[in-house]
Amino acid sequence: MKARTIALVGAGNVAVHLGKALAAAGHTIAAVCSRTPESRTALAAALSPATPVATPDFRNLDLDIVILAVPDAALAGVAAALQVQEGTMVVHTSGSQPLSLLDAVAGARTGVFYPLQTFSRAKPVDFNAIPMLVEAREEETLQELEQFARSISQQVQVVSSDARKQLHLAAVFACNFTNHLLGISREILQQANLPTNLLQPLLNETIAKASQFHPFTVQTGPAVRGDQNVLQEHLRLLQNQPRYQQLYQVLSESIGEVREFGS
């Protein structure tokens, strides 16, 4: 592995976990930049020998890579303020923002370095199992970035900005929406005074099966059976929760269409 000298911009969950993984892999974090003094001081101390800095002006540092790990909404502003030596690689870590957002950074070779995972402050992370999605315009930059990504992850994937947008949409369905359904399910269990972990084995099996087969081919439940008795009874049970009733209806109709399509 080629050890790199890195500056991190941002001190949130992504910056913290990524910084630790990079330091553990043998890279040098030379600087941590954050507007919040406590954040940059704390993260720099955790990533020795990093220096805390207040603004993203790295002209006096010999860096290989600057990693922008800031919220999506802050990214354009940071890119506009960023200053680096000619030829430094600058990457952002956002799943939803295009590579072109970094065109504003003068003299940099730009790329995307996106860890496809959700991070919680307290929970340690095994980067080895996290897909690292990389993108760059120039072939040489892309190869460097892939090599760099492989120093922390065994799952490195080149993904264009367009495909990354589709991936983000897929993630909203698979993760954000799924989480919401799990919340509704939990509410129903609580209202019936049932233990909230009761469905865990069934859910685990559902998730395991959906990774082995195309989920549409292993769909179970009243909607795919076209079981009108159960569907009507469930809509009745939800009569005081019109939003959940609507969700139930639309999801069941969508499942019904897959059934018709498949039959």
Q: Which of residues 84-103 bind a copy of itself (CB under 8 A)?
A: 96
- Rounded CA-CA distance 252/255 in Å is 5
DSSP letter for each residue of 179-217: HHHHHHHHHHHHHTT--TTTTHHHHHHHHHHHHHS-GGG
Applying CB under 8 A, does 130 fall inside the site for a copy of itself?
Answer: yes
Q: What is the DSSP string of 104-124?
A: GSTT-EEEEEEE-S---SSS-
Closer to a copy of itself by CB, 85 or 161: give it.
161
Q: Which is nearer to a copy of itself, 23 or 210 (CB)?
A: 210
Residue closer to a copy of itself, measured from CB, 73 or 106 = 73
**Residue 28 vs 219, nearer CB to a copy of itself:** 219
What track of x and - describes contact with a copy of itself for positions 233 through 262 (by CB under 8 A)?
Answer: xx--xx----xx-xxx-xx-xxx-xx----
Pick the binder of a copy of itself from 207, 226, 232, 239 (CB under 8 A): 207
CB 130 within 8 A of CB 25: no
Least separation in angstroms between CB 230 and a copy of itself = 6
CA distance 42 to 245: 48
By CB under 8 A, name the one of 205, 226, 232, 239 that touches a copy of itself: 205
Stretch of 4-12, 48-56, 60-68, 169-177 contacting a copy of itself, by CB under 8 A: 169-177
Q: Is 170 in the site for a copy of itself (CB under 8 A)?
A: yes
185 makes contact with a copy of itself (CB under 8 A)? yes
Give the count of residues interacting with a copy of itself (CB under 8 A): 82
CA dihedral (9, 10, 15, 20) in degrees, to 10, reads 60
Burial state string for 62-82 with b = 16 or more CB within 10 A and e = fewer than 16: ebbbbbbbbeeeebeebbeeb
